[in-house]
Structure 1
C-alpha cells in the first residue's frame, strides 16, 4: 500500500486531535480582549498577555509543520541510514497506541522482513482526548492485534527490531512504562534493537509547545525506564532540535 501524505497533514493532525486545547485557548483569548473594556489593564501587560496567548496557540503549529511536514521525517531516511538487515528470516514489531501512520511505511522499507503490528491502547488507562480522536482516523495495518502494555504475546528472544514511534509517551505511569519495556526486552533477540522516536520534555520542546511539553518525558526519565527494564545501551540521535531517535538494546 502506497502512503501519500496530504500537504500539511502533520499540522492538520495537531489541530484535529487537540482541538479542545485550541477552543479553550481562543475562548480565553476572547475573554482577555473583552476584559480590556471592563478592567483597568496596564497597556504593556495587556499586550504581553495577548502575545503570550498567540505564541502558545501558533508556535506548536509552526513546529509541527517543520517536524512532520517539511523535515522529511515520514520519508524515513533516518531509518534507512540505520541499514537494518532485511531478509525473510527477520521479524519486526511496530507497536502503537492506536494511531498508526507508520506500519505501511516500515513495510515498504523492509519488504522482505515479517512485520507484526500491536496496539496497546487501553481506554481506561490511556485517557488523553488527543489519542482518542486519533484512533478514529488511524490507518489499519492487516492483522493488527490489541495487547496489554504488560504482555506481548510472543516467545522470548524472537524479535529482531521493535519500533516505538511517537507512541509510548501515552503510557503516563513510570512503572507501566518499565513493565512494557521489560516485555520488549524479553521478546527481543540478544542482538535485537528497540527503536524509539519521541519528543522530549526539554527546552526546545518547551519553546515549541509551552506547557504542552509536559505531555512528553525527559531523556533522563526514558533512560531510567530502559535501564530498569534491563537494556544495556541507550543511544540518542537528534532528528531536528525537537525530536529524538533512540536505539536501545
Structure 2
C-alpha cells in the first residue's frame, strides 16, 4: 500500500509523531504563567520573555515543517535523474513517504524498497509511532543496515531520503554507506537527502537541530565509505541532497 500525500500531511505528522515535545513545551508555558504571579516584579519580565521565546520557537518550527514537508517541492523529487528502466533501491528507516511517489513519477523503474529500522538499535519514539500509523509499502524488505542482502553492483540508483540520520552510531553509518557503495554500480549514483546541523536548522528547530548531522560529519562518513560527493542540491534552505558516486572499491 502506498502513502499518498495529503494537504498539511507533513506538518501534521511532525506534530503527531513528536507530540511529547509539544506537550513538554506547553507544560513549561503553563508553569511559567502560574509562577509569574508569585515572583518579584523584576523576575516577571524575564519569565514573560522566556515564555514568549518558547512560543516563538514552537511557532517557527511548525511553520518551517509546513514549508519543508507540505509547501516546498521536496516530494516532487525534481532533483532525481530519470529512473525509468533502471534498477533502483529506495531505503528507509521505518517510515516510507517516497516509494509510492517514485513509482508514480517513474512507472518503468525497477524499484526495490528496504527498511533498515531495528527497534533495538534505532530507538527514536517518533519512528515507532510512524510505523504504527502507516503500513509498509508493498513488498518492502526488512534489512540489516550493515549487511544488505544484495549482490555487488546490483543497483544503478540508490536513494535514502530523511532516513540515514536515524543510524545514530557513526561506525554503523559508515558500514551502512560501505554497503551502499558495494551494491551500487560503478557508474551509479547514491542520493542522500537530509536536514543538516547548521544555522538554518538551528533557527528553525532550536536544539532539535542536534538530531541532525553537520555537512562535515556526512562528508567524513562518505569519505570513509569510499564515496565522493558529485554535488549538493539544496531542496530548501533546510534540506540538502548529496549526490554520491563510488571511487571504485568494493567491500
Which TM-score band (shorter chain)? over 0.9
Alignment partner of 2:227: what SS? coil
The residue that corresponds to 1:37 in the other structure is 37
Count of aligned pairs: 244
Alpha-carbon deviation of 1:240? 1.3
Alpha-carbon deviation of 1:140? 2.0
The residue that corresponds to 2:238 in the other structure is 242
Kept after mapping to 1: 8 A contact 2:79/2:233: no
1:167 equivalent in alignment to 2:163? yes
Alpha-carbon deviation of 1:76? 2.2
Q: For each residue in 1:133-186, what CA deviation from the matched residue of structure 2 results, as whole angstroms up to 9, or x when unmatched? A: 111123422211111110110000111111100001100111110000000000
- Within 5 Å, give how 1:19-168 maps onto structure 2: 19-40=19-40, 41-79=42-80, 82=81, 84-87=82-85, 90-168=86-164
Alignment partner of 1:160: what SS? strand
Alpha-carbon deviation of 1:38? 1.7
Alpha-carbon deviation of 1:9? 0.7
Alpha-carbon deviation of 1:56? 2.1
The residue that corresponds to 1:10 in the other structure is 10
Question: 5+ unaligned residues in a row in structure 2: which ranges?
Answer: 246-251
Q: For each residue in 1:5-33, what CA deviation from the matched residue of structure 2 results, as whole angstroms up to 9, or x when unmatched? A: 22211110011000011111101111111
Q: Provide the C-alpha distance between the structure 1 equivalents of 2:47 and 2:177, rounded to a whole number of angstroms.
A: 47
Q: TM-score, normalised by structure 2?
A: 0.93
Q: Provide the C-alpha distance between the structure 2 equivalents of 1:10 and 1:94, rounded to a whole number of angstroms.
A: 19
Q: For each residue in 1:190-226, what CA deviation from the matched residue of structure 2 results, as whole angstroms up to 9, or x when unmatched? A: 0111101100000000000000000100000001001
Q: Provide the C-alpha distance between the structure 1 equivalents of 2:176 and 2:218, rounded to a whole number of angstroms.
A: 12
Q: Provide the C-alpha distance between the structure 1 equivalents of 2:235 and 2:130, rounded to a whole number of angstroms.
A: 23
Alignment partner of 1:93: what SS? strand
Question: 5+ unaligned residues in a row in structure 1: which ranges?
Answer: none
The residue that corresponds to 2:248 in the other structure is none
Q: Provide the C-alpha distance between the structure 2 equivalents of 1:95 and 1:4, rounded to a whole number of angstroms.
A: 18
Kept after mapping to 2: 8 A contact 1:103/1:117: yes
Q: TM-score, normalised by structure 1?
A: 0.94
RMSD: 1.5
Q: Provide the C-alpha distance between the structure 2 equivalents of 1:113 and 1:129, rounded to a whole number of angstroms.
A: 33
